[in-house]
Amino acid sequence: MDLLYLAVILLLLLATWGLAVAIDHIEDEK
């Protein structure tokens, strides 16, 4: 179970990190 929840924490981090990078990428394209 620990591995599952640690993976969820990392996934949430990646999802938020990904949002930031995506926003920055869209800005660069403009």
Please report, as ranges, the residues that interact with another protein according to CB under 8 A. 1-2, 4-6, 8-10, 12-13, 15-17, 19-21, 23-24, 27, 30
What token pair was written down for 30? 């403009």
Distance CA 12, CA 19 (A): 11
Distance CA 30, CA 14 (A): 24
- Least distance (Å) from another protein to the CB of residue 13? 4
Q: Work out how close the CB of 20 gets to another protein at its nearest, in angstroms, rounded to a whole number.
A: 5
DSSP 1: -
- Distance of closest approach, residue 1 Cβ to another protein, in angstroms: 4
